[in-house]
Chain A
């Protein structure tokens, strides 16, 4: 996290903490939205959600989770329903963990 604060937040740890708190609250909503998109096989919605998550997770310094979000985004964009849903399950687990105080 220290690296993310230094490189992406100009050393402003308070700003990072505020963003992390906002993201934790948002991730809980995103998990629900992602599950609904998977259930409905709504790849457009899943792609957009994964795109937003990729950006937020990168900023937070969660590079592994960000890569997973990028994978979901790519699979959803390519119309790979089953792969995207499977990858989402892994991302869902990570997000649930990150969204838990």
Chain B
């Protein structure tokens, strides 16, 4: 089935995607290619790989590292599974916060425990997406909304800052 890109998904998003189970990773890649082709995924499978990639991203923010920046796509968001082979998606979230990276973090899990969502959001994730029902259909909008909310928060904080 060929599908049209969904409304509100026309701008390009670069997303670091962290998932270790191959069929799940392929499914998300194919889903986004069909439903939101402007979302570009770079996939890794572990916390360590994600942090290594985010460190490259962070170095790319330094304008003196122009050559590296040109080789390194900027990310708008991290989409991560909660359960990973060498840790948790929350470890990646903590890294993003600790390094003050301007990235939306969306956490997915197939956990059926009621307090998982609350715990993920309490930890500061921009969105939590349980892997059930229509989560694949909702994924593009959740990513775009998380990035938009982060940008809106940044503007609000900037406006509230006292003049220098």
Which residues of A line the B interface, CB within 8 A? 7-15, 18-19, 22-23, 26, 48, 51-52, 54-56, 58-59, 70
Residues of chain B lying within 8 A (CB to CB) of residue A26:
21-23
Tell whether B158 is near chain A: CB-to-CB under 8 Å: no
**One of B62-70, B130-138, B143-151 contacting the partner:** B130-138
In contact, A22 and B137 (Cβ under 8 angstroms):
no
Tell me how far the C-beta of A3 lies from the nearest C-beta in chain B, rounded to whole angstroms.
Answer: 11
Tell whether B159 is near chain A: CB-to-CB under 8 Å: no
**One of B26-34, B36-44, B52-60 contacting the partner:** B26-34
Tell me how far the C-beta of A42 lies from the nearest C-beta in chain B, rounded to whole angstroms.
Answer: 13
Residues of chain B lying within 8 A (CB to CB) of residue A23:
23
Residues of chain A lying within 8 A (CB to CB) of residue B26:
18-19, 22
Taken together as a complex, chains A and B put the C-alpha atoms of A99 and B112 apart, in Å, by 25
In contact, A59 and B134 (Cβ under 8 angstroms):
no
Residues of chain B lying within 8 A (CB to CB) of residue A56:
21, 23-24
In contact, A55 and B21 (Cβ under 8 angstroms):
yes
Contact sample, A vs B, 16 pairs, CB 8 Å cutoff: A7-B134, A8-B136, A9-B136, A12-B1, A12-B3, A14-B1, A15-B1, A15-B30, A18-B26, A19-B26, A19-B30, A22-B27, A48-B83, A52-B24, A52-B83, A58-B131
In contact, A55 and B137 (Cβ under 8 angstroms):
no
Tell whether B49 is near chain A: CB-to-CB under 8 Å: no
In this complex, how many residues of chain B approach chain A with their Cβ under 8 Å: the count is: 24
Tell whether B119 is near chain A: CB-to-CB under 8 Å: no
Taken together as a complex, chains A and B put the C-alpha atoms of A13 and B24 apart, in Å, by 16
Which residues of B line the A interface, CB within 8 A? 1, 3, 20-24, 26-27, 30-31, 34-35, 83, 85, 110, 112, 131-137
Tell me how far the C-beta of A87 lies from the nearest C-beta in chain B, rounded to whole angstroms.
Answer: 17
Residues of chain B lying within 8 A (CB to CB) of residue A58:
110, 131-132
Tell me how far the C-beta of B117 lies from the nearest C-beta in chain A, rounded to whole angstroms.
Answer: 15
Residues of chain A lying within 8 A (CB to CB) of residue B30:
15, 18-19
Taken together as a complex, chains A and B put the C-alpha atoms of A46 and B35 apart, in Å, by 34
In contact, A15 and B22 (Cβ under 8 angstroms):
no
Tell me how far the C-beta of B6 lies from the nearest C-beta in chain A, rounded to whole angstroms.
Answer: 10
In contact, A15 and B24 (Cβ under 8 angstroms):
no
In contact, A70 and B1 (Cβ under 8 angstroms):
no
For B31, give the chain A residue with the smallest CB separation.
A15
Residues of chain B lying within 8 A (CB to CB) of residue A8:
132-136
For A29, give the chain B residue with the smallest CB separation.
B22
In contact, A55 and B136 (Cβ under 8 angstroms):
no
